[in-house]
Amino acid sequence: MNYKKIGIYFILGVLFFLPVTFLLFLYPATHNYNPLDIVNEDVLDLRAFTSDAKTDIQLKDHITVLGFLGTKPMTKLTTASNLKELVYDKFKGFKKFQVVIVMPKGTEAAVQALRKEISLYEDLRFLHFVFGTPDAISKVFKSLKHGISLDANYATDTVFIVDKDLNQRGRIDDRSDKEIERNTTVYGLNFYNCIQVATIKNKMSEDLRIIFTEYRQKRKGEFNSTTRRADDINSNDEEN
């Protein structure tokens, strides 16, 4: 018996079947995919705003990270830098992705200064600033679910994920595994604080990857839309 030949065939067999087995394990996970929760519907679009881009900037049909930097954007340099480096740079290659910052009218010059601080001559074509009245800014902010307030300058360090259908995305249940085991009260995650680097690098990055996977599956016809239920929002409201 040629043991050397048997050994070679065994190794070749393992090398062939191991990747196939791995893909078979992945296959059910793909089709039982759990999409990112809708925490709020009907986010107000940006029709009342002008932009610093050559085209009108809208939330509809885009996956948007939406922020508010107020009348003194240079005081929010850390927020803007973290957003650019930890979110924009990581996801700018994804289809229909954009970062949109809502600004009060009259801050156009300050925005240009901020752009220079965070860009270092890099490509910022998917990072947009839009300009509107305080009333228009307040209406957009009120259409989001958050439980927080803009400061006196119409600014906040938090950002929001808005999908192509103007739904705000997040987590209805943001408890850790240990908190679930202890049966602690359910709490959600409706926004992401850009000052908290760990939240942006871990939770927000994970949530954005989930939503990109969801839309990729929709394009391929693999996404089961029945997993998205409107009563998820209602139950979350009742819990809060």
| Lowest model confidence (mean pLDDT) among 1-10, 73-82, 148-157 | 1-10
Average pLDDT over residues 56-70: 97
- Up-side HSE of residue 9: CA atoms within 13 Å toward CB? 5
The most confident of the ranges 26-30, 79-83, 116-120 is 79-83
Alpha helices by DSSP H, listed for the chain, are 3-31, 77-83, 89-91, 108-119, 134-142, 177-181, 197-198, 205-220, 231-239
Residue 136, pLDDT above cutoff 80: yes
- Name the band, by pLDDT with cuts 50, 70 and 90, for residue 35: confident
What is the per-residue pLDDT for 216? 87
Non-local (6+) Cβ contacts of 118 within 8 A are 77, 80, 81, 84, 124
What is the per-residue pLDDT for 81? 95
Share of the chain above pLDDT 90, in %: 68
Torsions phi, psi for 205 (to 5 deg): -60, -45
User: Which residues pair with residue 127 across a beta bridge?
Assistant: 99
Render 142-173 in DSSP notation, one character per residue. HTS--S----TTSEEEEEEEE-TTS-EEEBS-
What is the per-residue pLDDT for 218? 82
Average pLDDT over residues 53-64: 92
What is the per-residue pLDDT for 13? 56
Kindly provide the b/e burial profile for residues 221-230, where b requires at least 16 CB atoms within 10 angstroms of the residue's own CB: eebeeeeeee
What is the per-residue pLDDT for 29? 42
Residue 2, pLDDT above cutoff 70: no
What is the per-residue pLDDT for 123? 79
pTM beyond 0.85, yes or no = no
| Lowest model confidence (mean pLDDT) among 26-35, 68-77, 120-129 | 26-35
Q: Tens digit of pLDDT for each residue in 178-198?
A: 999 999 999 999 999 999 999
What is the per-residue pLDDT for 24? 44
What is the per-residue pLDDT for 52? 80
What is the per-residue pLDDT for 60? 97
Kindly provide the b/e burial profile for residues 42-58, where b requires at least 16 CB atoms within 10 angstroms of the residue's own CB: ebbebeebebbeeeebb
Residue 6, pLDDT above cutoff 50: yes
| Lowest model confidence (mean pLDDT) among 24-38, 42-56, 193-207 | 24-38
What is the per-residue pLDDT for 1? 54
pLDDT, mean over the chain: 84
- Up-side HSE of residue 199: CA atoms within 13 Å toward CB? 18
Residue 145, pLDDT above cutoff 80: yes
